[in-house]
């Protein structure tokens, strides 16, 4: 590596080497997508009469919208993901989102379908292919397909962290 040149991943947008660094081009593209999604969120907020619109982190994941006390999801084109209304609705991570209605907590997929027929007392979103779920005072891990990662259960967890 040339000692006078920074590693490719450290280049800043706008530097003279932007056109040769795919990481910088990716950052520029990410900013373009974020700006487009922010504009769409504002458009849907005003046209749909939503109290707020949050999400559209990429070109596939639905966004959470709220009107009054109800939350639900809309697709990038503004259409509703499903007719379900929730008390709480998280953003999608790894293609799954935690939703709550009353005392029931479960996961849905980006197409609006339930991940499984399981409901929980509490849950934390997916990271690195695993999520933490709680029922009857015990926590455990599930995989992206909704099946148990292991049979071990815990009194508490800190969720999934890198490393």
User: In DSSP terms, which residues pair with 134 in a beta bridge?
Assistant: 122, 139
Using CA atoms, how far apart are residues 57 and 42, in angstroms rounded to an integer?
Answer: 14
pLDDT band at 161 (very low <50, low <70, confident <90, very high): low
Domains delineated in the chain: 1-85 (no CATH), 88-163 (2.40.10)
**pLDDT digits 0-9 by tens, 47-104:** 888 998 987 766 678 999 999 999 999 998 889 999 999 999 999 999 999 999 999 9
Instruction: Give residue-wise pLDDT tens across range 96-136.
Output: 999 999 999 999 999 999 999 999 999 999 999 999 999 99
Look up the pTM and report it.
0.76
Distance CA(118)–CA(59), nearest Å, equals: 28
């Amino acid at each position: 590596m040339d000692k006078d040149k920074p590693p490719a991943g450290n280049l800043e947008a706008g530097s003279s080497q932007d056109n040769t660094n795919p990481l910088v081009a990716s950052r520029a593209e990410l900013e373009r997508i974020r700006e487009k999604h922010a504009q769409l969120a504002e458009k849907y907020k005003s046209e749909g009469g939503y109290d707020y619109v949050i999400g559209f982190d990429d070109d596939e994941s639905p966004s959470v919208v709220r009107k009054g006390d109800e939350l639900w999801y809309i697709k990038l084109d503004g259409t509703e993901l499903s007719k379900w209304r929730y008390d709480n609705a998280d953003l999608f991570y790894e293609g799954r989102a935690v939703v709550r209605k009353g005392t029931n907590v479960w996961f849905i997929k980006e197409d609006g379908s339930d991940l499984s027929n399981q409901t929980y007392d509490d849950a934390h979103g997916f990271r690195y292919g695993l999520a933490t779920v709680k029922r009857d005072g015990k926590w455990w891990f599930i995989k992206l397909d909704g099946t148990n990662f292991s049979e071990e259960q815990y009194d508490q967890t800190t969720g999934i962290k890198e490393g």
